[in-house]
């Protein structure tokens, strides 16, 4: 039987690869809902191919044109964030793949959980910002959250058959990004084009910059804390440049399990969508002779300050990860516009974390206010933005 799915952010890197999986496994998946922000032309092509019940676009100015394009196919078209929150509740949807970028994924994910939909989560910011609220809601609704990030998928796979065994620690692996081994002096001069060239993974611009600054690994640590009910001291990060070991679980007897594979996001996407089944694929297979050695090293928290800031926010808890995420989203946006330098992103995030008032036990309204205030402060304190 096919599984009926919604893909939020279908025109992005994860979304397009998820649709490749659907294309390769047409008997297993049926698309009920697609959404995008501004890339309406690609969304229309996707909708005409996969025939969802409905689509939601972020840019309301393109609503009528999108309706005209999809009317002959009988596909409903809606626009705006509120429409997306309503559409994820549609009765026909069984699984919601949240592949939106950044904070935008939080409310539709909460709406889907409230409607009892299982979640395939590629939007780590949802748990970074509101991990306690999201996981509590999922428990209350009996909803499963299947991780899509390769590292969290690796941990999830290693835990299969081990649910009753306590975790001693997990080890998240990081490629180190394009600037591994660089000094702060060298990082001060890097360009946007250099930062967007990841050595192993093909990802969207925002996550690629996060990977280059190692912020992505900090966000993943916070996400792992909530996904697997861990304490901060149970999470270790290690740099593994080959990106073959995607992460490791160590149990209380000292035994370790690792999940390995070529760096291809379609594998964790398909695993989350098809769980508990492993579907056959014709993708390239790993060849040990092409990887004669695996290497590991400690991350440089002094040079890559973003990772240190993320780990500090995880330790502090409360609204600190929410503020961290908001400031980082603004910093990445400014860097991609050539308004600030690579190292200035850390300065902006640190300043924002120090200024936004700390809330130990935030409600959703507190988190929304913290997010807005962090973004306002980050933009106010950036001369290039104001010019």
Note the pLDDT of residue 297.
96
Q: What is the pLDDT of residues 138-181, one digit of tens each?
A: 999 999 999 999 999 999 999 999 999 999 999 999 999 899 99
What is the reported pLDDT for 207? Answer: 87
How many structural domains does the chain have?
2
Number of alpha carbons in the 13 Å side-chain half-sphere of residue 254: 0
Read off the pTM. Answer: 0.92
Q: Indicate whether 387 pLDDT > 50.
A: no
Q: Each residue of 261-275: pLDDT tens digit? A: 999 999 999 999 999
Q: How far apart are CA 11 and CA 71, in angstroms?
A: 20
Q: Is residue 277 part of a domain?
A: no
Let me know whether 26 and 137 are in one domain: yes
CATH assignment at residue 210 = 1.10.1740.10
Given a contact cutoff of 8 angstroms between Cβ atoms, the answer to whether 131 and 222 are in contact is yes
Rounded distance, CA 107 to CA 96, Å? 13
For 178-233, write each residue's pLDDT tens digit: 999 999 999 999 999 999 987 766 677 888 999 999 999 999 999 999 999 999 99
* DSSP label of 149: S
pLDDT at 201: 62
Say whether both 138 and 174 belong to one domain.
no
The answer to the question of residue 214 being in a domain is yes
* Whether residues 224 and 306 fall in one domain: yes
How do residues 85-135 score in pLDDT, each as one tens digit?
999 999 999 999 999 988 889 999 999 999 999 999 998 889 999 999 999
For the record, the structure tokens of 10 come out as: 């279908």
Q: Write down the pLDDT at residue 386.
A: 43
Q: Flag whether 155 is in a domain.
A: no
Task: Kindly state whether residue 152 falls inside one of the protein's structural domains.
Answer: no
CA distance to 17, 44, 299, per residue, from 303 (Å): 33, 44, 9
Does 156 fall in a domain?
no
Is pLDDT above 90 for 384? Answer: no
Long-range CB contact pairs, 43-52, < 8 A, 24+: 43/10, 43/11, 44/69, 44/70, 46/10, 46/11, 46/19, 47/73, 47/75, 48/73, 50/19, 50/22, 51/75
Q: What is the pLDDT of residues 34-79, one digit of tens each?
A: 999 999 999 999 999 999 999 999 999 999 999 999 999 999 999 9
Phi-psi region of 30 (alpha: psi -120 to 50; beta: other; left: phi over 0): beta
Same domain flag for 21 and 116: yes
Same domain? For 125 and 197 the reply is: no
Same domain for 215 and 143, yes or no, is: no
Indicate whether 249 and 142 sit together in one domain.
Answer: no
Judge if 229 and 142 occupy the same domain.
no
On whether both 193 and 302 belong to a single domain, the answer is yes
Judge if 131 and 175 occupy the same domain: no
Question: Is the pLDDT score of 333 beyond 80?
Answer: yes
| 65, 100: one domain | yes
C-beta of residue 113 within 8 angstroms of C-beta of residue 140? no
Mean pLDDT of the chain: 94
| pLDDT for the residue 273 | 98
Give, in order, the Cα–Cα distances in Å from 247 to each of 116, 307, 335, 350: 30, 17, 29, 28
Domain range for 296 is 162-261+287-386
CATH number, domain at 121?
Answer: 3.40.50.720
339 and 305: one domain?
A: yes
């Amino acid at each position: 039987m096919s599984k009926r799915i919604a893909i939020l952010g279908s025109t992005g890197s994860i979304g397009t690869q998820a649709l490749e999986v659907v294309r390769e496994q047409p008997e297993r998946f049926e698309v009920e809902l697609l959404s995008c922000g501004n890339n309406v032309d690609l969304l229309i092509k996707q909708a005409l191919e996969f025939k969802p019940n409905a689509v939601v676009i972020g840019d309301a100015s393109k609503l009528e044109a999108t309706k005209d394009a999809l009317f002959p196919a009988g596909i409903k078209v809606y626009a705006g964030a509120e429409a997306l929150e309503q559409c994820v509740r549609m009765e026909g949807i069984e699984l919601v793949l949240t592949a939106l970028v950044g904070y935008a994924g939080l409310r539709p994910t909460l709406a889907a959980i409230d409607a009892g939909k299982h979640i395939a989560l590629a939007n780590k910011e949802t748990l970074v910002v509101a991990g306690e609220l999201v996981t509590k809601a999922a428990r209350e609704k009996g909803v499963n959250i299947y991780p899509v990030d390769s590292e969290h998928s690796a941990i999830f796979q290693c835990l299969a058959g081990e649910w009753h065994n306590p975790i001693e620690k997990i080890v998240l692996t990081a490629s180190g990004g394009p600037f591994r081994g660089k000094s702060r002096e060298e990082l001060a001069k890097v360009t946007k084009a250099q930062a967007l060239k990841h050595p192993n993974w093909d990802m969207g611009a925002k996550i690629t910059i996060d990977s280059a600054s190692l912020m992505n690994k900090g966000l993943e640590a916070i996400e792992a804390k909530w996904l697997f009910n861990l304490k901060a001291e149970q999470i270790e990060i290690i740099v593994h440049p080959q990106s073959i070991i995607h992460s490791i679980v160590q149990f209380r007897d000292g035994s370790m399990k690792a999940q390995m594979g070529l760096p291809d996001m379609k594998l964790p996407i398909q695993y989350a969508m098809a769980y508990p089944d492993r579907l056959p694929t014709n993708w390239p297979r790993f060849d040990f002779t092409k990887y004669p050695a695996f290497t590991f090293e400690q991350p440089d928290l002094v040079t890559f300050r973003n990772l240190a800031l993320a780990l500090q926010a995880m330790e502090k808890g409360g609204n600190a990860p929410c503020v961290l995420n908001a400031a980082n989203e603004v910093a990445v946006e400014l860097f991609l516009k050539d308004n600030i330098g690579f190292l200035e992103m850390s300065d902006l995030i640190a300043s924002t974390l120090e200024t936004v008032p700390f809330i130990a036990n935030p409600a959703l309204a507190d988190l929304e206010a913290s997010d807005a205030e962090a973004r306002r402060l980050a933009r106010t304190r950036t001369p290039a933005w104001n010019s």
